[in-house]
Amino acid sequence: MNAARCVAVAVFRESVRDRVFYNLVIFALLLVGASILIGQLTAGQDVKIIKDLGLAATSLFGLFIAIFVGINLVSKEVERRSVYPLLAKPIRRSEFIAGKYAGLLLTLLVNTAVMTIAIYAVLFFLSRGVPERIQHAWEAPAMDPALLKAIALIYLDLAVVTAVALFFSTYSSPMLSAAFTLGVYVVGQFNADLKRFDQIVDSPPAIFIAKACYYVLPDFAKFDVKLAVVHGIPVSVAYMLSTTGYAAAYVAALLFGAMVIFSRRDFK
Amino acid sequence: MSPSTSLRAGRAAAGLAAAASLAGAVALHAAQDRWPAPEVDRPALLYARSPAVVRRLVLGYDAVAADVYWIRALQHFGEERLSPPGHLRTYALLYPLLDLTTTLDPYFSTAYRFGSIFLGEPYPGGPGRPDLAVALLQKGLAAQPDKWQYMQDLGFVYYWHLRDYQSAAAWFQRGSELPGAPTWLRPLAAVTLAEGGHRTASRALFEQLVQSDEPWMRDSARLRLAQLDAMDTIEAWNRLSTSGIARPIPVDSSGTRFAYDPVAREITVARDSKLFPLPGQIQAPR
Stretch(es) of chain B classified as CATH 1.25.40.10: 51-199
Q: E-strand spans in A31-135?
A: none
| Range from A149-163, B37-51, B254-268 that averages highest in pLDDT | A149-163
Q: Which residue has the higher pLDDT, A136 or B78?
A: B78
Nearest to B59 among A49, A55, A189 (CB): A189
Write down the CATH superfamily of domain B51-199: Tetratricopeptide repeat domain (1.25.40.10)
**pLDDT score at B285:** 41
Nearest to A52 among B60, B67, B213 (CB): B67
**CA A255/CA B250 separation, integer angstroms:** 81
Q: Are A11 and A99 in contact (CB under 8 A)?
A: yes
Residues in A touching B59 (Cβ below 8 Å): 185-186, 189
Tell me the DSSP string of B172-241: HHHHHTSTT--TTHHHHHHHHHHHTT-HHHHHHHHHHHTT-SSHHHHHHHHHHHHHHHHHHHHHHHHHHH
- Secondary element (H or E) of residue B260: strand B259-261
Quick: pLDDT tens for B126-143. Answer: 888 999 999 999 999 999
Mean pLDDT, rounded, for A116-135: 86
Q: Are A142 and A232 in contact (CB under 8 A)?
A: no
Q: Are B133 and B156 in contact (CB under 8 A)?
A: no
CB of B38 within 8 Å of a chain A CB? The answer is no
**CA B134/CA B155 separation, integer angstroms:** 9
Contact criterion met (CB < 8 Å) for A52 and B71: no
User: Would the pLDDT of B23 be above 60?
Assistant: yes
Phi, psi (5° rounding) for residue A116?
A: -60, -45
Q: What is the ipTM of this complex?
A: 0.80
Residues in B touching A46 (Cβ below 8 Å): none
User: Would the pLDDT of B42 be above 70?
Assistant: no
Mean pLDDT, rounded, for A189-197: 84
